[in-house]
Structure 1
Amino acid sequence: MNFRTPGRLYAEVIGDPIAHSKSPLIHGFWLAALGLDADYRAARVAPADLSAYFADRRADPDWRGCNVTIPHKLAALDHVEDRGDVRATIGAINLAMRAEDGALIGANTDAGGFYAPIAGFDFSGKPVVVIGAGGAARAVLFALAKMDVGPVTVLNRTPLKGAALLSTFGLKGRALPLTAALPPAALLVNAGALGMTGQPSLDLDLSPLPDDAVVYDLVYAPLETDLLAQANDRGLETVDGLEMLVAQAALAFELLFGVEPPRERDDELRELLTA
């Protein structure tokens, strides 16, 4: 079944798996609110099909671009022009879009989306812990470097990968295995897949965190992960994955459709996403 009308602009989110994605709800809500004649959907694309996907969509003049999620954030760079030098900075993209000259270019709105919900906090010189070392973690570490935070501890199954990322972004700190004890930190960020529906849980002892620490989980399915539940039990400030998801989606929406989304309706959107 064709999900769209030929000649009508559309965009997508691609990944594998993709059924859990809330991006179609977000972008669909904004398109309807603005009365734009365009569509947005989810498309499951297996790693082996990524090249064929981009070849097909590149030839479709109605296609505005796609958001890119796990596991394609690094591999998708090979299928777009890197005009913003994303490969040398963040090293991963979460957006591929058609430029005005027709070229397909890559961008990353994850870093800006990650920062937006915590813009009111001051983490300058304060210790931070980041869990994970994949594409999302790269965006987080890129943003942290711009925020001038204190030492950063990366917890990852492969500590060497975490150490390499610290070096890439010029961050002082250390990389430890996931089994290591959590050090004290002003900000704890889960940038990995642990805790996501269908994935193993993220088991951490949060007792080393001070009472004014912020716990930020990029996972949004489920919305309240075990990590956030434990942080809430401690009375810690928390940021859930929907906040980053909506923030990065807003940046992507403007790039894809050329208009700002109606962020004044965020409360209504959140109710839709959590229904």
Structure 2
Amino acid sequence: MYAFDIERPSTVAEAAAALGGEAQALGGGQTLIPTLKARLASPSKLVSLSGVAEMQGISSAGGVLTIGGATIHADVAADGTYAALSDLASNIGDAAVRNRGTIGGSLANNDPSACYPAAALGSGATIVTNTREIAADDYFQGMFETSLEEGEIVTAVKFPIPEKANYQKFVQPASRFALVGVFVSKSADGVRVAVTGASNNGVHRWSEAEAALSANFSADALDGLSVSADDLIDDLHGSPEYRAHLVKVMTARAVAAAN
């Protein structure tokens, strides 16, 4: 590690004011701290968000679940209001990760194999920042890229609770990230299918499956579909063709489990 300053604001306004120059926001630190240790980033100041009370907690009203950006995975897992989301959170990393990592930190980092981006995109969630609200469809911009601007903080996430939903993850055992993960939700507006872990462009929707499942919410509706291996991740854990196969398999499992 190297020398840096750290600030611990108690309000969102204080945190936003501290995020100038080379300062970096610090959520649970599950990605940032290893990045600093590896010297892949070297901000001169960290701004810890863990003490900002207004960014913590979970509430539900009018069919929408609102989760503070500094809420840890373990609290989301224990909540149970949105069962598919709680189940997803309960299988992130291990107990140590779940008791430190935050939903806001995960969405801000937008790792291409992370679980929460699939939940947000698959649910049609809204990402709330200190300056605006962003639809999930507009928020995710590619691998590790989001529409967040300099100094913008994810303060909360609003999840509309669907009629049915499920998340299926094929785990990469060393990291506990998704080799491929698929989040499926069914609501009055139709079906959404979000895929993580597969694409070089990060989390994305599988529109062909959404159309088929909106007409018939059954795993059988996927029988005639195939997933292109073009621009899918190719690494020692799986080829693009293998990931393409897993996308369809995980989608079918998610639909079957949701019914």
TM-score when normalising by structure 1: 0.26
TM-score when normalising by structure 2: 0.28
The structure carrying a bigger strand percent of its residues is 2
